[in-house]
Structure 1
Amino acid sequence: MDRITGSAEPMDEDARNRAARYRMDPDADRADESPDEDAPVPPQRRPEDQTLWVDQQIRAAMARGEFDDLPYAGKPLPHIDTAAEPDWWLKRFIEREQITGVLPEALQLRKDDAILDEQLDRLRSERAVREAVEEFNRRIVAARRQLQGGPPVVTQLRDIEVEVAAWRARRGRRAQASAPLPEPPPPGLIRRAWDRLRRRG
């Protein structure tokens, strides 16, 4: 049995060389060889040969240092909930490459939803808040129609009355926090009041 091809019939030296060359590189250029219908068909590469070749390539890349300084080297990979965030890969790519102004509407809505409260807090009237929330909801409805394609829209509509009430509450808390503290009474006044209380006792 031939040890290179596994064939029961021995091969001549030329065919053996071609078969050995094929096992090392099945995509080698054979344009200079004239087609020979009687030539034996080279054997297919065995799975274990391909596994060995891949392993050798990985080891060579490691030796060249191509895997050094990769993100998360020596750390666990972050958990990604692909069900809740189906387009996580696109979001990570945009963040990593710092791409701006080209987000699909579904992703832009998620980004705007996260900072909507902050944007509403800059507005000075309830009417402006209502108009801003209405416009945000219009964008969600338009994106859900998928007229322009893109990833699915998971951003929820905002209730206008709830958003106005929340805006009012945040505005009240800010007003209280920024109100000046009352002036402390002069020290002599406190002492006189304390003396009067002691005399009564």
Structure 2
Amino acid sequence: MAEPQRPTGPIESWVERMISEAIERGEFDNLPGEGKPIPGIDDPPDPLWWVKQKMRRENLSVVPPSLALRKEAEDALDKAYAARSEQQIWDLLEPLNKKIRAAIRVPPPGPPLNLMPIDIDRVVRRWQEQRRAS
């Protein structure tokens, strides 16, 4: 591709000419999303739109550490009851209990943790009862 000429007159007419020439060369043909509406075009203006898009693309979230730990505990208990062995339950919950104890000693920022270490023996007993019942 040749180097574009520098504008000699108003920049707008130069830009328009460059766009017209690119269209003639077919440089805008078959672009991704061609013929589709621009996502979010009708959404109300949001000064943080680019931050939200970046977080969505990167799969990031802004959750206070105390809430993230509560969610982790909830998910770990679900996985524990679906475990295949008692050892899997211990391997899953013991590291979580260490995190919970650390968070109790030094509370993380955000809402109160309101979480105690999980009684793993109790979880194992309940897991055994569930297996016997099924």
Give the TM-score category using the shorter length.
0.3 to 0.5
Q: Taking CA–CA contacts closer than 8 Å with sequence separation of 6 or more, which of the two structures ends up with the larger relative contact order?
A: 2
Q: TM-score, normalised by structure 2?
A: 0.47
Structure (1 or 2) with the larger CA radius of gyration: 1
TM-score, scaled to structure 1: 0.33
